[in-house]
Structure 1
Amino acid sequence: MATIPAKRSRTLVDSEVQGSLVRRVALHWIVFFVCNTIALTFWIRLFEQPDADWGQTFGDTVRRFLPFFVITAALIPAFVWDTLKLSHRFAGPILRLRNTLKDIKAGRAVAPLKFRDNDFWQEMASHFNDVMRLRDADGPTGPGGSEIEPAGREVSDG
């Protein structure tokens, strides 16, 4: 069984999935930030400065809540990075499974599937390994005793 390094060296393991996730988290934080700014502006206008114009109210809101805005904006990259790191725990195992399935399809021998200790879906690797053991015990035959070619097409004996 191959030794698996404890730390991933790539920032994006599956750029399609993880890129979508990062964009979504960043978008949610930006929408949250904008909605909070609007809500605070309305609150101040309605309950603290009902006679002020909207420009003055918005300026007062920004000045008053500037530390909150700065902290919120500074947290966006931290939350995006943490989400990206967490996503490695499911994107990495799926990538490993996908590559192993490609190897099987190409007719290459594969080692038992092993995910990193902290990865999600450990049970999936265990089930995959069980299926591979059953397959190896039965030999490379499909239903009805027909041989299975590496590309997955069945060839009849007769």
Structure 2
Amino acid sequence: MSSRPIRQQLLVEQDVQVSLVFRAVLYGAACMTYFTVIQFFTQAMHHPGILMSEIFLSLTDEAVYWVPGFLVLGPLMVYDMLRITNRVAGPIYSMRREMRAIAAGDNGRGLKFRNDDYWDTLATEFNELRRTVLELREENANLRANQAAPAPEEEAPQVDEFAAADLEMSEEPAGAVVPS
């Protein structure tokens, strides 16, 4: 883990984080609907002779107490959730960026996550994998270079050995038994 500054960007991995925000808003709306329905039925059961319009008026009177709190805490909850998801999405975003660089032929850089990020062991494992890929890439380049241009000294003795064997066979009389 490094001592890099706090991430300034609120949405690091937009697809994932927007989906989570949408879920939080959906759950918040479900809670608000639940509270309203429960309040409505509670009022209707406690006061059976009251008209529905009067029940709705009493609901708005009581909603004055909990709706402002919900409207203040809702955005605060979404913001906090985005900050927490940055600790998960940020490292994955960085790792994906470096993986793309390595796949494109670049050497990439070693990963170092921020102090509060999750997945701290992932950086170590990725850096080991990156080092292995770079070593294998270098070894592969060396093998290709050696295979593409064989040294002339290596070819000459093989040709001379074959020529000498042919010469020996031609010097032997026809029909002679050659030891194997």
Q: Quick check: TM above 0.5? A: yes
1:23 equivalent in structure 2:
22
Instruction: Compare relative contact order (CA 8 Å, sep 6+) and give the higher one, 1 or 2.
Output: 2
Shift of 1:135: 3.3
Q: Please say if 1:67 is aligned against 2:62.
A: no
2:36 equivalent in structure 1:
37
Judged with a 3 Å threshold, the aligned counterparts in structure 2 of structure 1 residues 28 and 68 are, in CA distance, closer, same or farther, namely: same
Report sequence identity in percent.
27
Matches within 5 A, 1:76-115: 76-115=74-113
- Structure 1 distance, partners of 2:100, 2:62, is 58
- Structure 1 distance, partners of 2:118, 2:97, is 17
**What are structure 2's unaligned runs of at least 5 residues?**
142-146, 149-180
Which structure dedicates a bigger proportion of its chain to helix? 2
Kept in 1: contact 2:111–2:123 (CA 8 A): yes
Taking structure 2 as the reference length, what is the TM-score of the superposition? 0.71
Shift of 1:8: 1.5
2:151 equivalent in structure 1:
none
Figure out how many residues of one structure are paired with residues of the other and give that number: 142
Aligned equivalent of 1:51, options 30, 49, 52: 49
- Structure 1 distance, partners of 2:3, 2:16, is 22
Aligned equivalent of 1:122, options 120, 123, 126: 120
- Structure 1 distance, partners of 2:26, 2:90, is 24
RMSD, aligned CA: 2.2
Taking structure 1 as the reference length, what is the TM-score of the superposition? 0.80
- Structure 1 distance, partners of 2:91, 2:13, is 10
Shift of 1:136: 4.0
